[in-house]
Amino acid sequence: MQPFGNSLVTMTLTGAQLKTVLEQQFQGCGTQNRDRLLQVSAGLTYAWSRSAPACDKVDLASIKIKGAAIDPQATYRVTVNSFLADGGDHFLTFREGTDRLGGPQDLDALEAYFRAHSPVAPGPQNRVTVLP
């Protein structure tokens, strides 16, 4: 029987690729039907504009990791599930990730996290800022 869920995949993306992934969340620059906002990890913050044109909604200067602006030329380690890593939901830039490492099933990792950190409070709601 196939396990339920996806395995985790850690990969390297450039800052420019990370910005492209964030742009691919929005209708017209990835998904055609509706926006598909990713849930970002603690430490990653950015701002996007509802009124900006497709593929230019995310302000590069607003993308920060632990408060430091990303460098488009620098590389960053990113972990996503295997569905997204393979370009699922039109997040095609994840396919370009290098130095890929497989990990546990996403549900197994989540369960282990809850066991180790219970009770788990909701995370901060200010990681993503929506601008007009």
The residue with tokens 């970002």 is 40
Which range marks the domain in which residue 65 is found? 7-131
- Flag whether 119 is in a domain: yes
What integer pLDDT is reported at residue 5 of this predicted model? 65
Could you tell me the CATH number of the domain that includes residue 36? 3.90.780.10
The answer to whether 59 and 22 are in contact (CB under 8 A) is: no
Residue 34: per-residue pLDDT = 83
One-character DSSP codes across 72-127? TTSEEEEEEEHHHHTTGGG-GGGGG-EEEEEEEEHHHHHHHHHHHHPSPPPPPS-S
With respect to residue 125, please indicate whether it lies within any of the assigned structural domains: yes
The whole model's pTM is what?
0.87
Q: Is the peptide bond before 72 cis (omega within 30 degrees of 0)?
A: no
Pick from 2, 38, 10, 11: nearest CA to 104? 10
- Give the per-residue pLDDT at 1: 40
3-class DSSP state of 45: strand
1: in domain: no
Model confidence at 106: pLDDT above 80: no
Cα separation, 128 vs 46, in Å, equals: 5
Q: How many CB atoms lie within 10 A of CB 109?
A: 16
In a domain, 62, yes or no: yes
Total domains, the chain:
1
Whole-angstrom Cα distance, residue 102 to residue 121? 28
Q: For residue 2, is it within any domain? A: no
Q: Is 82 part of any domain?
A: yes
pLDDT in tens, 8-58: 999 999 999 999 999 999 999 977 778 889 989 889 999 999 999 999 999
pLDDT tens digits for 47-91?
A: 999 999 999 999 999 999 999 999 999 999 999 999 999 999 899
Whether 67 is in a domain gets the answer yes
pLDDT at residue 84, as a whole number:
94
Q: Residue 2: pLDDT above 70?
A: no
Query: How does residue 124 score in pLDDT terms, banded at 50, 70 and 90?
Result: confident
